[in-house]
Structure 1
Amino acid sequence: MASDLNNNLPNGLYQGGSLGIFNGIRIKEQRGRSGVETTSGTGTAQRTWLVSNTENPQAAKAALIDGPVLINEFDGKFIESLEWDTGLSSDSWEFTAHYSAAVPNLGSYTVSIDTTGGTILQTTSYEQTRFAIAGKQAPDFKKAIDVQDGAPQGVQRIIPTLKINVRAKIPTEFIYSPMRYAKLIARLTGTTNVAPMFDDEFAPGELLFAGASGDVVAEDPQLSFTFLASENATDLSIGGISGITKPGHAYAWALFDTDKDSTTGLLVSKPRAIYVDKIYGGADHDLLKIGHAPTVSA
């Protein structure tokens, strides 16, 4: 894997003891950069600078953040934290930036997934084979599952379930106030998307917003958003009833009739109708501003 760890920086601040100067404050990157890469594609790294010619730690930090040294991104990773301590003299400060591949850049996001299964009670099967004792015939239950006393008991079935955890850094300009943004998240929780999301990978109705967690700080908060994904379905066939349309997070269920099996004369259950119920309301998930780059210059 290509890496620029422990190589000279393109701007020369690391090479040969060169210095960066900002408002009279000197910035020098110390040797000893380090990093870790994993086979799963994650990793961490860190860099250290000596900032001198000021006794004010806030001025030193501002010079490092706003000055000529690019510190937000390093080795394909984004800054997670910045720590500082006094240097060898009263007018010097040592800053260490920690970087992580799991931290998104401002206006960007990272994605982790979990597909460990959801289940539903399924009362009709896709295909049913009958076997009867010698001299008897098995009645046709029209694919109803485990019919006891005239009612299908069904079976728990694992269904495709995609849980998406999105870690995003939201630009300050979209926050307005931490409490207002928190209330927005609360209002959108438990709703499905009314417009395509994430580069149009998910059609309207396929994403259910399950909420967010994190500290809604006043400046560029980094939050974790959870979505449940389920594909919309069209032209389904259930229990002999075809042409069924089911949005991803709607609930489908069957109404059963009791009928007489034409072969055996026994009473059997068979689907009479399929109902598709809308459980969740829709909302504009773009209001969360996930993946929106800032439009206002810092």
Structure 2
Amino acid sequence: MTKAATTFETRLKTTASDVETLLSSLLSDAPLVGEIARPAQLMAAMRHGSLNGGKRLRPFLVVESTLLLGGSAEAALRVGTALECLHCYSLIHDDLPAMDDDDLRRGQPTVHRAFDEATAILAGDSLLTYAFDIIAAPETKLDAAAKMELVLALARAAGPGGMAGGQALDLAAEKQAPDELGVMTLQAMKTGALLRFACEAGAIIAQSSVEDREGLQAFGRTIGLAFQLADDLLDVTSDAATLGKAAGKDAGRGKGTLVALHGVDWAEARLEALTAEAVDLLAPYGKKALILQETARFIAGREN
């Protein structure tokens, strides 16, 4: 293992631990100023759906893209944790019977199985809303303009033209398999949009140049494509014990994926090309970009 890979793994684990600590504090039963009460079962469901391990890749990308450009690590951690709340909401809702109908997430029962469907819906709703609360709160030490940019960018990445719209396309794909362009559009929205935001957020937090923001957007889009392609490969080649969730779901539902369209060998070659493209996009930053470049390699080579 290279020195960069070792440093990457250490920093990924450290950020995951920091996110877990902050998230645990934010999801306490004690109401905040302006809140009336926090129902115990709702809070327990929110914690079940978010404090369950995971690599915390999206917050890590926020933190590392911010550090790349010299922004506040403290603010980045809060923004990254907000993004993780939003990501966890999407997983809770994706797992519902009306969506993907999954029983297992990260090796434990999904929220609607551990509690009930109504509580799972409300837990997802609450995590989604809380994401924007965390960004806007005075504890996030950023000026109003930066917060406004972050809220707008995250809303666009998560809404009908981003992740939620991608989920709608994913559901439609069960009835009529999309062509290659349709698959790529679906994946860029459902999975790629939040990963792109995670990288772009660093430039917003650091109040960096338009060029930096566009460069990190491009990096985020590329690793988003790689992430989903790796996910589709794992769905074909791995098992539930390794993934921590059901395997073979896409084929079972008849969903179109790039792996299904082109085969495993093509997908592996394409994944290698996307990784090289992502690494090259950050070449202008020199050694400062080594951790993010290693992140691209990790995304392509992950096992779950």
Q: In proportion to residue count, which structure has more strand?
A: 1
Q: TM-score, normalised by structure 2?
A: 0.20
TM, length-normalised to structure 1: 0.20
User: Which has the higher relative contact order, 1 or 2, with Cα contacts under 8 A spaced 6 or more apart?
Assistant: 2
